[in-house]
Amino acid sequence: MALITHVDKSSPFRKKILVGDDLIAVNGVAIRDFLDYMYQTALGVTDVTVRREGKIVHEILSEPTDEPGLDFENYLMDQQRSCKNKCIFCFIDQLPEHMRETMYYKDDDFRLSLLYGNYVTLTNMTDEDLDRIVDMRVSPFNVSVHTTNPELRVKMMKNPAAAKVFDHMKRFRDAEINMRAQIVLCPDWNDGEELDRTLEDLKTLHPQLSSISVVPVGLTRHREGLEPLRCFTPEECGAVIDQVERFADRCQAQFGTRLVWCSDELYLKAGRPIPTFDSYEEFEQMENGVGMIASFEQELEDLLSFMDEPFRRPIRVSSVTGLITQDLMNRAVIRLQEKYTDLQCTVYGIRNDFFGHDVTVTGLVTGQDIIAQLQGKSLGDYLIVPDVMLRDNKFLDDVSVKDVEHALKVKIRVAEAGPEGFADALMRSARR
């Protein structure tokens, strides 16, 4: 699996190691995956063993290096581990047919937490895996906890191995491995007193556990045959916020950090104002939708303070977003229009008919919903689409950017996430 696909020109193994070689060992230690490789290279590489055309080739350096300059065909350097859980809230189980093929793969590989920051359940870990992590002291680990009640976690994830998560995390704490935690909250399951228990348990892992996010369960309309679940009401969202903020206040007094944050979605659904930028500290839980709005608005103000390139012509464009961020994007456009009076931009919040109306986030907007809801509208010079809706220029429903352009008879500009990406898409439009 460790097939070498590139050797840097600056590599000390240049002309010694060839593209197409299979990496076997570093410093005499067998390489099972990228964890072994990263650990050995951090120690300083003195020798590398590869397989070339069926023969073993051993290359030794005169001086050790920590930059061997090798790239590999498989980023994990091993088979990826799929998820063995049957979580009652699993989003993949709620997907309809005919979407992007990659959407249907359930990954729960603990190594992806270290490589890409994925949140993992730790249910796929063997005793050998735990020993390796502790021995190597690798971190941070992003853990999908949901509950520390062993019986409840097994019931929610339908996997006996789910009961051990808190034991694993305590072992990581004792080994001084840094962690972050995520709680997907389901009404009548792990909320209320169970949430209190989970937060109290996780607090004992501080400071190795540096942050916790509380995120409401996401449900699509495609739940035939699955465990009955419901969404939180606005009043219940408010109660969760109050519960979490009381706990966070106690953590602030005890540790000097709030430790736990609710996702923006909970505040929006409750009709509550988003907390201030400073209250999110290091924004560690941004990928879980925690503090994204506060960060966006602060970044926009910072951006506006030095934006001075004028529009070369009046510009009229449109933009799409999820319903949950429509007000945010409208506020952003108003601020931009205060500086650029030649700008006209209409923000369309796209109702999610594909997944169901309880799904309001931008990243789950599909191409067919955009087409259906914008058909016949005058969209201006361009339609701006945020890149979080796309992969390889395709939406989740396998509709391509070109399909949308053709159906709506408008050019699309893809904007990188954040205020700078949005502003850049506008400025690029204005230059043309």
What pLDDT sits at residue 78?
A: 84
Mean pLDDT, the chain, integer: 92
Highest mean pLDDT among 13-22, 49-58, 196-205: 196-205
Q: Which residue has the tokens 């590989």?
A: 109
What pLDDT sits at residue 98?
A: 74
What pLDDT sits at residue 143?
A: 95
In this prediction, residues 221-227 reach a mean pLDDT of 92
Instruction: Return the number of other C-beta atoms located less than 10 Å from residue 178's C-beta.
Output: 16
Q: What is the DSSP letter of 400?
A: B
Examine the pLDDT at 102 and tell me if it is beyond 80.
no
For residue 15, what are the contacts with CB-CB under 8 A and spacing of at least 6? none
* 3-state secondary structure (DSSP) of residue 422: helix
Distance separating alpha carbons of residues 262 and 275, to the nearest angstrom: 10
In this prediction, residues 138-153 reach a mean pLDDT of 95
Taking the alpha carbons of 272, 210, 360, 394 in that order, is the dihedral positive or negative?
A: positive
Distance separating alpha carbons of residues 163 and 167, to the nearest angstrom: 9
What pLDDT sits at residue 426?
A: 83
What pLDDT sits at residue 421?
A: 93
What pLDDT sits at residue 1?
A: 65
What pLDDT sits at residue 431?
A: 52
User: Is the model more confident about 293 or about 106?
Assistant: 293
CA distance readout (Å), 213 to 109, 245, 290 = 20, 12, 7
In this prediction, residues 23-38 reach a mean pLDDT of 91
* Residues 405-418: tens digit of each pLDDT: 999 999 999 999 89
In this prediction, residues 90-112 reach a mean pLDDT of 81
User: Is the model more confident about 206 or about 423?
Assistant: 206
CA atoms within 13 A on the CB side of 293: 22
Examine the pLDDT at 196 and tell me if it is beyond 50.
yes
Of the chain, the percentage scoring pLDDT greater than 90 comes to 72
What pLDDT sits at residue 116?
A: 80
For residue 200, what are the contacts with CB-CB under 8 A and spacing of at least 6? none
Distance separating alpha carbons of residues 118 and 239, to the nearest angstrom: 29
- What domains are defined for the chain? 4-72 (2.30.42.10), 92-290 (3.80.30.10), 298-431 (3.40.50)
Angle at 238 between CA 234 and CA 243, to 5 degrees: 145
CA distance readout (Å), 40 to 3, 116, 222, 330 = 17, 20, 46, 50
Could you give the residue ranges of the DSSP H alpha helices within 48-109?
none
What pLDDT sits at residue 432?
A: 47
What pLDDT sits at residue 396?
A: 92
pTM, 2 dp: 0.90
User: Which of 1-10, 94-103, 219-228 is predicted with the least confidence, judged by mean pLDDT?
Assistant: 94-103
Distance separating alpha carbons of residues 85 and 142, to the nearest angstrom: 17
Distance separating alpha carbons of residues 106 and 413, to the nearest angstrom: 31
CA distance readout (Å), 374 to 286, 318, 333, 347, 356 = 30, 10, 19, 11, 18
Distance separating alpha carbons of residues 57 and 394, to the nearest angstrom: 43
Confidence of residue 311 (pLDDT cuts 50, 70, 90): low
Contact yes or no for 237/266 (Cβ under 8 A) = yes
Q: What is the CA radius of gyration of the chain?
A: 24
What burial letters (b/e) apply to 119-153, b meaning 16+ CB within 10 Å?
bbbbbbbeeebbebbeebebbbbbbbbbbbbeebb
Confidence of residue 331 (pLDDT cuts 50, 70, 90): very high
* Residues 342-368: tens digit of each pLDDT: 889 999 999 999 999 999 999 999 999
Examine the pLDDT at 310 and tell me if it is beyond 50.
yes
Examine the pLDDT at 255 and tell me if it is beyond 80.
yes
In this prediction, residues 67-87 reach a mean pLDDT of 88
